[in-house]
Chain A
Amino acid sequence: MSQGRMVQIEQDILSKNNEYAAANRRFFSEHGILALNLVSSPGSGKTMLLTRTIEDLKGELAVTVIEGDQQTDNDAERIRATGVKALQINTGKGCHLDGHMVGHALQRLKPADGGVLFIENVGNLVCPAAFDLGEAHKVTILSVTEGEDKPIKYPDMFHASDLMILNKTDLLPYLDFDVEKCIDNARRVNPGIRVLQLSARTGEGMAGWCRWIRAARQLALVEHPELAASA
């Protein structure tokens, strides 16, 4: 059989997604928007954490939400009930959001300059780690009803995240979950990861998370001093 022509490619498999993510990142930077990509397993309490966070912050910050799920509009409905703008993306058979989907959502949502955009990714600790959306930070939410070895079972996600939130801490008295062990496991895959412990249900620890968001937002506003005061 004759030989075909050889073509040098030298391209990252995710190069197409990375181009879309770079465009999103440029948009966020031009508009002084803090974009956070929230990732977790299904059932970690992401949506409840988000509704609680919005209740705490909506008086002082313009909040917008992109919801990713395979099916249903349920989560976006829960978010809209808090009074903020939310757009649901159904990924169908897809297991993660990608840069292209988020770019489209931004055109439709038109998040406010100087605000905070929460992107709630599809519940999955594998694929979303690889797909950059243009966010400033990935935040992994792990609930204490899960195993403390999750950071080393799914190292890529914890490696890619700047912050780990340990949620449902109000349940700790009823569980054998070893908090120190879990944090140690997270630091094994990512020595620089920050950790916050909270319960979105009781509100304990929520103040720390809100302080983290405000601090991250200040960084997003470094080149937009005119937006710093606005809500």
Chain B
Amino acid sequence: MHEMSLCESILQVLEQSAADRGFARVRTVWLEIGQLSAVEPEAMRFGFEVVTRGSLAEGARLEIVELPGQAWCMQCAKTVRVQQRFHACPDCGGRQLQVTGGEEMRIKELEVD
């Protein structure tokens, strides 16, 4: 359900770009999705196919680049990898983490005609 809303937002961006940049069809969409962004790539693919039917992106390929979750640990004073937002620092077990990467939900580039 969440991914469906996101796919509708993606379609809005595609339609706007088509008007601004002068293209008629979208063949491929590259997304950058962070691991902490609560987006399920499979649900995204499904939603994308459904939402783009009858649009300028019908049948387009969806390429999802997953970006790792990263946080700055204040105890260790360094960047550590995190799998989930509520996980503790893998090195010191502390919870004073500032997420620095992995929240991305970005449309990176398009292949168009």
Q: Contact partner of B108 among A10, A14, A127, A188, CB < 8 A? A: A10
Interface residue B5 (Cβ < 8 Å from any Cβ of A): yes
Chain B 26-50, CB-CB to A under 8 Å as 1, else 0, gives 0110010000001000000000000
B9→A17 contact, CB < 8 A:
yes
Interface extent on B, as a size class? 20 to 34
Chain A residues near B12 (CB-CB < 8 A): 16
| Distance between A121 CB and nearest chain B CB, rounded to angstroms | 13
A13→B31 contact, CB < 8 A:
yes
| Distance between B20 CB and nearest chain A CB, rounded to angstroms | 10
Known contacts A4-B27, A156-B38, A191-B95: A12-B105 contact under CB 8 Å: yes
Q: Name the interface residues of B81-97: CB closer than 8 Å to any CB of A.
A: 84-86, 95-96
Interface residue B62 (Cβ < 8 Å from any Cβ of A): no
CA distance A185 to B87 in the complex (A): 11
Chain A residues near B31 (CB-CB < 8 A): 13
Interface residue B2 (Cβ < 8 Å from any Cβ of A): yes
Interface residue A217 (Cβ < 8 Å from any Cβ of B): no
Interface residue A216 (Cβ < 8 Å from any Cβ of B): no
Q: Contact partner of A94 among B5, B85, B113, CB < 8 A? A: B5
Interface residue B13 (Cβ < 8 Å from any Cβ of A): yes
Q: Contact partner of A12 among B1, B106, B110, CB < 8 A? A: B106
Interface residue B67 (Cβ < 8 Å from any Cβ of A): no
A4→B108 contact, CB < 8 A:
no
Chain B residues near A188 (CB-CB < 8 A): 86, 95
Chain A residues near B108 (CB-CB < 8 A): 8-10
Chain B 12-28, CB-CB to A under 8 Å as 1, else 0, gives 11001100010101011
Known contacts A16-B16, A95-B2, A155-B86: A5-B38 contact under CB 8 Å: no
A13→B23 contact, CB < 8 A:
no
B113→A5 contact, CB < 8 A:
yes
A5→B111 contact, CB < 8 A:
yes
B13→A9 contact, CB < 8 A:
yes
Interface residue A126 (Cβ < 8 Å from any Cβ of B): yes
A3→B13 contact, CB < 8 A:
no
Chain A residues near B2 (CB-CB < 8 A): 95, 126-127, 130
B109→A7 contact, CB < 8 A:
yes
Chain A residues near B84 (CB-CB < 8 A): 155
Interface residue A229 (Cβ < 8 Å from any Cβ of B): no
CA distance A188 to B1 in the complex (A): 26
B21→A96 contact, CB < 8 A:
no
Q: What are 30 inter-chain pairs, A to B, with CB distance below 8 A?
A: A3-B111, A5-B111, A6-B111, A7-B21, A7-B109, A7-B111, A9-B17, A9-B108, A9-B109, A10-B106, A10-B109, A11-B13, A11-B106, A12-B106, A13-B6, A13-B9, A13-B13, A13-B107, A15-B13, A16-B9, A17-B9, A95-B5, A126-B1, A129-B38, A130-B5, A130-B6, A152-B86, A189-B85, A189-B86, A191-B96
